[in-house]
Chain A
Amino acid sequence: MIAIKTVGLRKVFKTGIAKKNEVLKGLDLEIEQGETFGYLGPNGAGKTTTLKLLLGLIYPTSGSAFILGESTRNVRVKNLIGFLPEQPYFYTYLTAWEFLDFYSQLFDILGKFRKKRIEELLSLVGLKGKCEKLQLRKFSKGMLQRLGIAQALINDPQVIFLDEPFSGLDPIGRKEIRDIIFKLKDSGKTIFFCSHILSDVELICDRVGILVDGQLRALGKIEDLVDTSLNSAEIAFYGLKEGSKQEIRNFCTQMVDHSDKTLAIFNDRESVDRAVKIITDGKGSLISLTPVRQTLEDIFLKEVITEKQIS
């Protein structure tokens, strides 16, 4: 079943008299149930606008969006979703318990179930027994983010929207949030994940979409988008005679000498094999062979730079 679907979704904002800004230019997207989808794009690409359209915070200029087959204009559909906003925009005068109690009431969860659910969530995000009576204004960024995840899960949602869940977190905080996301993924939830931190997206997401200037520039599984085969490599070696080094210099793309060590970069697999043979035959010592693989970041940068060149 399709969890999230958008059909020709467009959003135009008026920015002045007769001035308009088309933020989203006809988005067509389908995300399957149980999928973890990474939604990427530079600042101002239209990611947050997409999210707001899916959550019904703003209305589309044209096109439509559906969650689990229901139009996002239908308030009822929100019973099935959870949302973690980018910044922890929460009521700082509430305590953690009051905060979760407030949001659970918005789902019409009755008193006896609320207490149990809040306790479960506080232990899931590691806040139980620590700060239930503490006002949110005294929370650290990491604690707020964890509480944000707890409120996003209060209704045990099918589809979870996470907007920059790692922003402002230290490495420990990032790991904790990542572990929670893995747990959700394992329990079969659909996760729509907006992030700038590409290494996390690569680690967590099954599929990614790259949005640039309101248009989807790339969409697919990470392994399909990123060429994971060994195309180039860096070889470090020492103790090779000048004649053999010269032979390698003739077909490598770059060679750098550093004290007695040499670093050579190769652009194809044959060159790598040939160089390794020359080093071993010439009684040189191989220090390391590091494959250079394409990353999601390369794809992301390529799409963004291409768009800039076009515009």
Chain B
Amino acid sequence: MLKIRAIFINTFREAIRDKILYNLLIFALLIIGCSILLGTLTIGEQQKIIKDMGLASISIFGTLIAVFIGIGLVYKEIDRKTIYNIFSKPVHRYQFIIGKYLGLILTLFVNVLIMAVVFLSIVYFMDGVVGFSLIQAIFLIFLELMLITAVALLFSTFTTPTLSAIFTLAIYVIGHLSGDLKVFGAKAEQVWVRYVTQFLYYVIPNLENFNIKGLVVYNLSLPDHFFLFSFLYGILYICIVLFFSIFIFERRNFK
């Protein structure tokens, strides 16, 4: 456990000493702040605009942070050959992957927490109250970001940062459209299109399971057990993706 903890703390330390992270965070906070200005342009919809923009900013900037740190930190270890020194010590490769992942998640958590505190403070200042559903929405966004980070980590175990970024962002986009993919596949006449869309629907995570922004903004209630289902779905998916990352990493030669 001490080894995983050491790698986890070192990863977090590396991430928070990276300037790109602060640039993204400052930009996200500015956008959240701007929602107050945009809100004043509408009549009677101010709270909705603020909530909508705030949650969207946390989601988008969180994804950017997850992708950039997720793909960069493992690749950097291999590229700068610092990994030689890690694996010349009694460290199992799975310990490295788990330590790295936890370090990335802690970095992400701190960032989401800062964005969430600023966002919820604005909502409280404008609305006088912060609904529990807003916290639920932020939690699900965080779960989605945890999944995106695991996907970024998986790609970075065997490919370059550029390709990892493209693949991860592609998964993010397809993941949000996978419901549409299923509908499109069901209506397709060609059999192969049906198979391909079905394959994508089942393999790529359905990220809409973590998206309750619309319901929260319009104060609609969540379907029964939706939150629990999304939570378990996210955790299971993360475990599967991490398992594959470890599986690939265990067999890798560090040239």
Contacts and interface: CB of A to CB of B under 8 A. Distances in A.
Nearest to B3: A106
B85 A58 contact: no
A59 B251 CA distance: 8
B88 interface: yes
Contacts of B88: 55-57, 78, 81, 83, 85, 161
B82 interface: yes
A106 B4 CA distance: 8
Contacts of B91: 75, 78, 106
Interface of A: 13, 52, 55-59, 75-76, 78-79, 81, 83, 85, 87, 89-91, 93-94, 98, 102-103, 105-108, 151, 155, 161
B9 to A, nearest CB: 8
A306 B169 CA distance: 55
A105 B3 contact: yes
A75 B92 contact: yes
Given A57-B87, A85-B84, A151-B85, A102 B10 contact: yes
A63 B171 CA distance: 41
Question: B interface, how many residues as a size bin?
Answer: 20 to 34
Contacts of B5: 105
A91 B81 contact: no
Nearest to B17: A93
B179 to A, nearest CB: 39
Interface string B44-87: 00000000000000000000000000000000000011111111
B6 interface: yes
Contact of A91 (B3, B10, B253, B254): B10
B170 to A, nearest CB: 26
B96 to A, nearest CB: 10
Contacts of A103: 85, 89
A94 B13 contact: yes
B255 interface: yes
B6 A106 contact: yes
A83 B85 contact: yes
Contact of A93 (B13, B85, B251): B13
Nearest to B91: A106
